[in-house]
Structure 1
Amino acid sequence: MSVLSDHIESFIKELLTEDEGMAELQRNELAQQFHCAPSQINYVLTTRFSPSRGYITQSRRGGGGYIRVIQLDVDESEYISDIIDEKLQGGINMRHTAELVEGMLETGLIDRRSKNLILAAVSDKALCVPGEIKNELRACILKEILISTLLKEDD
């Protein structure tokens, strides 16, 4: 199922590129094109086109309904502040961490190598602490990484 999701995601991203950051989709037509249930399209939209990944989705129901996907023009400092204030308070699990870091990659905040390093540093395997404090420790580490991305190096 993941391969199908990857294909749907790639298709939508191509549309976004062609249409300068906005694409209107018909859920049923897209499902027919990919030979899947409309719920699969919903899954891709909610997991891979979320605000934390730099996208907004809007929908209108009914016969002439559509789904509009808009790629956000992200202000780096505002984006990072929002993540720290909203996503990292009280801890964060590994699944949400992976989504957040993928969003940082997609918005251009980090590169693929940095993504892999961050995920390795905050993985359950790397955090050798009891389960009840693992998510809090992960959030603290991510917060420091995010803050450091805002600091400009002096040449």
Structure 2
Amino acid sequence: MNNQNMTDIIEAYLKDVLHKKEQIEIRRSEIAKLFDCVPSQINYVINTRFTIQNGYIVESKRGGGGYIRIMKVQVLDEMDRLDSMIEIIGKSISERDSRSVVQNLYENDIISKREAKLMLVAMDQSLYTGDKFTDNRLRANLLKNMLANLRYEMPKKRKAD
């Protein structure tokens, strides 16, 4: 199996286990052994697929009895989710993390597919100044303004694709 497929398989496995439980504790070496891959592959999956922007909190304890705990974030309502995301974004956000925020909003029925596409186009294709630091700050400001606007206009159901 190639690495890209392995990453997707490991992510799907962990999400399946998380679907059954509120949180999971794993040992990196045990999961690596289960999937016959290197432990760094597990780190990659956790660091890229189980971020706060994707709705997860990850805790880890190093050492012999170490573990990685993954928990799905429980947000009370859409307003709380938007406020949390605005806070998480801060002053700067990468293109990858901004895509994760938009995908999370779509998957949780806060925005429609069309709104997600518009948000992604605005953040991806129009923010290239030649300076990554400036791009990430502009992207953060744009995304936070979009999220703040959603807070004031919350229809009951947004899945009108």
TM range (shorter): 0.7 to 0.9
CA deviations 1:88-124 (Å, max 9, x no partner) are 42x433223123323434555335554333212211x
The CA deviation at 1:7 is 0.9
Percentage of matched positions with identical amino acids: 36
Question: d(CA) in 2 for partners of 1:153 and 1:115?
Answer: 16
The whole-number CA distance in structure 1 between the counterparts of 2:85 and 2:34 is 35
Question: Scaled by the length of structure 2, what TM-score is found?
Answer: 0.75
How many Å separate the matches in 2 of 1:7 and 1:112?
25
Give the equivalent residue in structure 2 for 1:7: 9
Match of 2:36 in 1: 35
In the alignment, the residues of structure 2 paired with residue 23 and residue 130 of structure 1 have an alpha-carbon distance, to the nearest angstrom, of 41
Alignment CA distance shift 1:140-1:3 (3 Å): same
Name stretches of at least 5 consecutive residues in structure 2 with no aligned partner.
157-161
Question: Letter of the aligned partner of 2:72 in structure 1?
Answer: Q
Contact persistence 2:93–2:139 (CA under 8 A): yes
Aligned to 2:49: 48
Q: For each residue in 1:8-41, what CA deviation from the matched residue of structure 2 results, as whole angstroms up to 9, or x when unmatched?
A: 111000001122x212222111101211111111
Structure 1 residues 86 and 54, CA gap change in structure 2 (3 angstroms) = closer
Query: Residue 86 of structure 2 contacts residue 144 of structure 2 at CA under 8 Å; is this kept in 1?
Result: yes
Q: Distance in 1 between matches of 2:114 and 2:32?
A: 34
What is the number of equivalent residue pairs in this alignment? 150
- SS of residue matched to 1:28: helix
User: Structure 2 CA distance, aligned partners of 1:11 and 1:113?
Assistant: 29
Q: Which letter maps to 2:67?
A: Y
Q: How far, CA to CA, are the matches of 2:148 and 2:18 in structure 1?
A: 30
- The alpha carbon displacement at 1:73 in A equals 0.7
Which has the higher mean CA deviation after the structures are superposed, 142-151 or 6-15? 142-151
Give the partner amino acid of 2:15.
Answer: K
Change (3 A) 1:23 1:92: closer
2: CA distance, partners of 1:58 / 1:92? 22
